[in-house]
Amino acid sequence: GGFMAAAGVLDFAGGIVVHITAGIGALVGAAVLGPRKENRMVAGNLVLTVLGTGMLWVGWYGFNGGSALAAGADAAFACLATQLAAATAALVWTAQDVMETGKASVLGIATGSIAGLATVTPCAGFVGPLGAVMLGVAGGVACRFFSLVVKERYGYDDSLDVFGVHGVGGFIGTCLLGIVAAPTFGGFNTETTMMTQTVIQCTAALVTAVYTAIASYACLMAAKALTGGDLRVPEGAEQGEGLDLWCHGEACYSLAEEETVV
């Protein structure tokens, strides 16, 4: 019932309301807070990364397929598109890793699959297999570029790549919906032309990004005022004991370094 719906914006499962908003909010938060003192991008636990990725991937069938609101053809195509886009993006991300470094990485496969899932979310029930593969390719290329190249170039500390994966993926998927959902590429949108729908989608993505940036900044400033003017934890907590101990008085891993058995 909102103005975007009245304008004909399509978003099957939340590419706009979930991924673009989360990504832009994360980017604004990273810009306001600034980078960590020791900004080392290393994987904390690849086993947990793989487990978490698997949980997300399986859960995404309910996330996208469930947005059809009924067990029927729409839900089936949404689940199929979800699988194809995620797998394609994982392969595309990995192929780029191999071309650049000569090695495939578990972290690259995991991150690439999430990029594909985020990219297909707004389109899931509107596209056929070809459109889903196209979205996977676009997400795998664009999200990796922003997560590695753009982040390094501009120095913002988006430690979980929320902007690079979710924000960029949701934005790309929303804008490409007008193309991949057209019957030309096996899609199911017959209400508008490819160009008309693309303009509508791009406008919605831009409006959402601007609105989210302003709202996120306002919320951060309000939180800063309410917490005494500083959003960062003390330097000792950041560089010494860590956030788990400082915030909760406990750590995820209790073994001291000298007690670890190899």
Report pLDDT digits (tens) over 110-149: 999 999 999 999 999 999 999 999 999 999 999 999 999 9
Structural contact between residues 196 and 178, judged by C-beta atoms closer than 8 angstroms: yes
The verdict on 144 and 257 lying in the same domain is no
The verdict on 166 and 245 lying in the same domain is no
Domain that holds residue 32: 3-231
For residues 26 and 194, give the distance between their C-alpha atoms in angstroms, rounded to a whole number. Answer: 31
pLDDT at 41: 67
The verdict on 242 and 127 lying in the same domain is no
The verdict on 14 and 111 lying in the same domain is yes
At 169, which helix (H) or strand (E)? Answer: helix 168-180
* High-pLDDT (> 90) share of the chain, %: 80
Please tell me the pTM assigned to this model. Answer: 0.92
Q: Exposure pattern of 107-144 as b/e (b: 16+ CB <10 Å)?
A: bbbbbbbbbbbbbbbbbbbbbbeebbbbbbbbbbbbbb
Amino acid letter, 235: E
Report residue 41 as tokens.
């991008």
Indicate which CATH number applies to the domain containing 90.
1.10.3430.10
For residue range 1-54, list pLDDT tens digits in order: 689 999 999 999 999 999 999 999 999 999 999 998 776 667 778 999 999 999
